[in-house]
A and B are shown apart, each in its own frame.
Chain A
Amino acid sequence: MKHLSPTLRENRRYVLARITPPDFESDTRELYYAVSDSITSLYGDCIAAEVHAATILREGEYVIVRCRRGRETELCSAIAAIRSINGTQIRITAIATSGTIAALRKKIRPKEAATAITCTIDAEEQSGLLYADGKIDLIRRDMKGQELVYLTKDDMEKFHATTTKPDGI
């Protein structure tokens, strides 16, 4: 098969974005639908076709999204307007734009190490993740289900909470 000559091939740009919370589980297809839906909702089908977005890969909390050159602004706006995927609230932040995937891969930082902890608040045990910078993502479970609560280590004092690691320390 004869390939298109470089002058006829469409120019593309790649956008590196970070997903919060970092442990959000979804495949690239779900992320693609979220991005595509957001572009269509903000700009309509015609612009969405021109943006020609696609999710290329996901590495940990990072995702690389492709678009046509000159349409990066629309793509980044649409990414900023994403609020949830499958009913789970998330935030996707565009970090960098480049013409090559390799350049964006260099910007991907290793996943921040988190320690699984158990917090005791008002005699109720709740599990969570403690990050090196003092952030805590607490999973609060009750009759209605479970929800994430975002706090810091300093906040634990206000709740009169005690924190223990899985090894009991």
Chain B
Amino acid sequence: MTVTDVFIHPFPEGDSTLQRMALTARECGFDTLIAVHHHPCEYHGVRILQGILVNEGTMKTVMSAIRQNRRAIIGVAAGDANFNRNLLKTQGVHLITDLHRSQRNAFDQVSAKLAAGRRVAIHLDISQIISCRGHSRQKVLTRYAELLTLQRKFGFSFAIGSGARSILGQRSVREIILLTALFGMTKEETIDALGTVPELYQDTSLPRVVV
């Protein structure tokens, strides 16, 4: 069983080096990490995969990122409903991130069906639950609960990540189970979501045509 922490930000973005974060990840019960802008490698028995985050909401940037990083896990920040549907139809996009920042109708049942069919996962960033307070945290929890309802109905995948920029931001599997329970996710669902990414990576290593 693979347990993956999706999108960590090691040094120089954060204050901890990749090796130190890998060491902490092993202690926390993870065997795979997706490190943003770091090449694939292995440290202390923890497999590191390359992650690319695309935050600019244009299809041109997304296509450019896919062409340049053929062996990376590509996550794209969500936008409006049209943009998200386009993303879901684009081969090479593995994850849609930052859905808590988008409008409620930006990811509806049509997008959910597409995500399930095209095997695109939805990224749930646990650091948002930890770092936000008050209204912002309530908004994140509500959005994640809505996504969970859609996931239970349409069966697309979730990918959970700590979003850590430091070893102090990394959380153990047990803590992640506790934090995801805050928006109603069961232990089994969380464990399934932690094992999603390697399946996406297997698809990545296959040759493909990018139009």
Q: Is the CB of A149 within 8 A of B134?
A: no
Q: Is the CB of A77 within 8 A of B182?
A: yes
- Is A80's beta carbon under 8 Å from chain B? yes
Determine the chain B residues whose CB is within 8 A of the CB of A154 once the complex forms: 19
Determine the chain B residues whose CB is within 8 A of the CB of A89 once the complex forms: 166, 168
Given A91-B168, A135-B23, A150 and B17 contact (CB-CB distance below 8 Å):
yes
Bound complex: CA of A100 vs CA of B131, how far in Å?
Answer: 32
- Is A151's beta carbon under 8 Å from chain B? yes
Interface size counted on chain B using CB atoms at 8 A: 26
Interface residues of B in 168-211 (CB under 8 A from A): 168-172, 174-175, 178-179, 181-182
Chief secondary structure at chain B's binding surface: helix
Interface residues of A in 6-46 (CB under 8 A from B): 20-21, 41-42
Bound complex: CA of A91 vs CA of B172, how far in Å?
Answer: 11
Bound complex: CA of A93 vs CA of B174, how far in Å?
Answer: 10
- Is A152's beta carbon under 8 Å from chain B? yes
| Among B17, B19, B131, contact of A83 (Cβ-Cβ < 8 Å) | B131
How far is the CB of A37 from the nearest CB of chain B, in Å? 10
- Is A76's beta carbon under 8 Å from chain B? yes
Q: Is the CB of B15 within 8 A of A77?
A: no
- Name 25 A/B residue pairs within 8 A (Cβ), A-sorted: A20-B168, A21-B168, A41-B133, A41-B137, A42-B182, A73-B181, A77-B178, A77-B179, A77-B181, A77-B182, A80-B178, A80-B179, A81-B130, A81-B179, A83-B130, A83-B131, A91-B170, A93-B172, A94-B174, A135-B23, A149-B11, A149-B16, A150-B20, A152-B19, A152-B20
Besides the contacts A76-B178, A77-B182, A149-B17, what 18 more A-B pairs have beta carbons closer than 8 Å?
A: A41-B134, A80-B130, A81-B179, A83-B130, A83-B131, A91-B168, A93-B172, A93-B175, A94-B174, A135-B20, A149-B11, A149-B15, A150-B16, A150-B20, A151-B11, A151-B20, A155-B17, A155-B19
| Residues of B that sit less than 8 Å from A by CB | 11, 15-17, 19-20, 23, 129-131, 133-134, 137, 166-172, 174-175, 178-179, 181-182
